[in-house]
Amino acid sequence: MQIYQVGGAVRDELLGFEIKDRDWVVVGATSEQMTDLGYKPVGKDFPVFIHPDTGEEYSLARTERKTGLGYTGFAFDTSEEITLEQDLERRDITINAIAKDENGNLIDPFNGRRDLEQKIIRHVSDAFVEDPLRVLRVARFAAQFNFLIAGETLSLLKDISATDELHTLTPERVWVETEKALQTRQPRRYFEALRECNALAALFPEIDRLFGVPQPEHHHPEIDSGVHTLMVLDQAASITAEPEVRFAALVHDLGKGTTPQQTWPRHHGHEERGVKLINGLCDRLRIPKKYRELAVLVSRYHLDCHRINEMKATTVMRKLEGLDAFRRPERFDRFLLACEADARGRKGKEQQDYPQAGIFRKYHAACLTVTASSEDIRNLKGTEIADHLRTQRIEAIRKVKREEAT
């Protein structure tokens, strides 16, 4: 029995990154031997075991054979004769197909270290096309490391996208990879890579539809709605690491993809059209509620935030109520970050200030200072108390406006 460290831990160590999880492959062993040594099997028919002390995963060296459609249609061979090189060959990309023995020696039969140095994502073998999940994984690694995709690998990604294989992926798998991509340093690269290999239209048609749709040049020097969307995602990534904000930035303008061509480049009503599309996307991919809620608010109210200093106090109050800002102040802050990303996600405006966020925060903070003293509400009942608070909050907003005007 021989044990090697493999995969992401070896890759990240070579890149100088912090290692979070370590995976191991065991050569020359059987499932019975692993359980006799105290390792706990992950599943009945899956050759992965959990170390009794460290909790790390140890996999039997194996080869894979495609038996059907989709991500789960594979059979495994875990016989003791399977070599380390055969196990590494079944992996998706070369930078994930490097192993390290107990003495620290690297085993790198597919030149993954060279590709790390050259910052290239390259497939290991032609069996790469058998697993449609690899389209998402390659796109995600391109975003995580900001690496280029090798031309021959991109061709294989296009081959996968030209089949129905992508539609066999479960919504959960698509979202898991996408959520990971949203947390990378360059989330924009994930969606760019999917578009390059024609997978964006299959997996995220609402986003793909934005490309080629014009916007008014006065407000959007970049013109193209799809380009603007990626620029907004870029800005969100520079402002915050929170994936909910980045997702909201990504989908804030989905409604522009359904604007009738005869009204281009104007997009009247795209905010509410976008809400419907966001809900459909979240339903389809089973995206968590916290992502959906923020994204819907950003789609519906982002233009209001841009114009907040032009609004009357009663209108500002109505927007704060619509945003549920008094009960959910943390989400209100995330909303403002997404709106700032939208304002700066335009050609030539990447470094501009966004005073609207500060103004909106001032109005919100002024409202929070309003409380109902016992003297104020002594003779009030039921909804009268809420109406009284609302009136006082509107007056607090007016006071801030008067101060700003002086």
Domain boundaries, the chain: 1-111, 119-203, 365-405
Q: Please tell me the predicted confidence (pLDDT) of residue 379.
A: 74
Query: What's the CA gap between 46 and 212, in Å, rounded?
Result: 46
314-359 pLDDT tens trace: 999 999 999 999 999 999 999 999 999 999 999 999 999 999 999 9
Per-residue pLDDT, averaged over 355-380, amounts to: 86
Contacts for 32 with CB less than 8 Å, ≥ 6 apart: none
**In this prediction, what percent of the chain has a pLDDT beyond 70?**
96
The confidence band for 375, taking pLDDT boundaries of 50, 70 and 90, is low
Cross-strand pairs, 278: none
378: pLDDT strictly greater than 80: no
Q: Please tell me the predicted confidence (pLDDT) of residue 293.
A: 98
41-92 pLDDT tens trace: 987 777 899 999 999 999 999 887 766 544 455 677 878 889 999 999 999 9
Which range, of 19-23, 163-167, 245-249, 315-319, averages the lowest pLDDT? Answer: 19-23
**H or E segment at 370?**
none
Cβ–Cβ under 8 Å, residues 200 and 251? no
* Side chain identity, residue 383: T
197: pLDDT strictly greater than 90: yes
Q: Please tell me the predicted confidence (pLDDT) of residue 71.
A: 47
Residue 32: HSE in the Cβ half-sphere, 13 Å Cα cutoff: 2
How far, in Å, are 13, 233, 272 from residue 121 at the CA level?
17, 23, 39
Query: What's the CA gap between 299 and 248, in Å, rounded?
Result: 8
Q: Please tell me the predicted confidence (pLDDT) of residue 81.
A: 87
381: pLDDT strictly greater than 50: yes
The confidence band for 120, taking pLDDT boundaries of 50, 70 and 90, is very high
Per-residue pLDDT, averaged over 240-252, amounts to: 98
Three-state DSSP at 276 gives helix
Query: What's the CA gap between 383 and 388, in Å, rounded?
Result: 9
DSSP for 193-226 reads HHHHTT-HHHH-HHHHTTTT-B--TTT-TT-BHH
CATH number of 119-203: 1.10.110.30
Backbone angles phi, psi at 253, to 5 degrees: -115, 25
Greatest alpha-carbon pair distance for the chain in Å reads: 86
In degrees, to the nearest 5, what angle opens at C-alpha 176 toward C-alphas 88 and 172?
110
* Closest CA relative to residue 338, chosen from 200, 258, 238: 238
The 10 Å Cβ neighbour count of residue 340 is 26
Q: What does the DSSP 8-state code read for residue 140?
A: H
**In this prediction, what percent of the chain has a pLDDT beyond 90?**
84
DSSP for 100-113 reads E-TTS-EE-TT-HH
The structure tokens listed for 52 are 């009794």
In degrees, to the nearest 5, what angle opens at C-alpha 21 toward C-alphas 17 and 25?
115
Which range, of 26-35, 67-76, 232-241, 301-310, averages the lowest pLDDT? Answer: 67-76
Mean pLDDT of the chain: 93
222: pLDDT strictly greater than 70: yes
The structure tokens listed for 380 are 């009030």
Per-residue pLDDT, averaged over 199-204, amounts to: 97
* Side chain identity, residue 129: V
Query: What's the CA gap between 187 and 143, in Å, rounded?
Result: 5
Per CATH, which fold does 1-111 belong to?
Answer: Beta Polymerase; domain 2 (3.30.460)
194: pLDDT strictly greater than 90: yes
The confidence band for 153, taking pLDDT boundaries of 50, 70 and 90, is very high
Backbone angles phi, psi at 221, to 5 degrees: -60, -25
Alpha-helical runs (H) found in 286-322:
289-306, 313-322
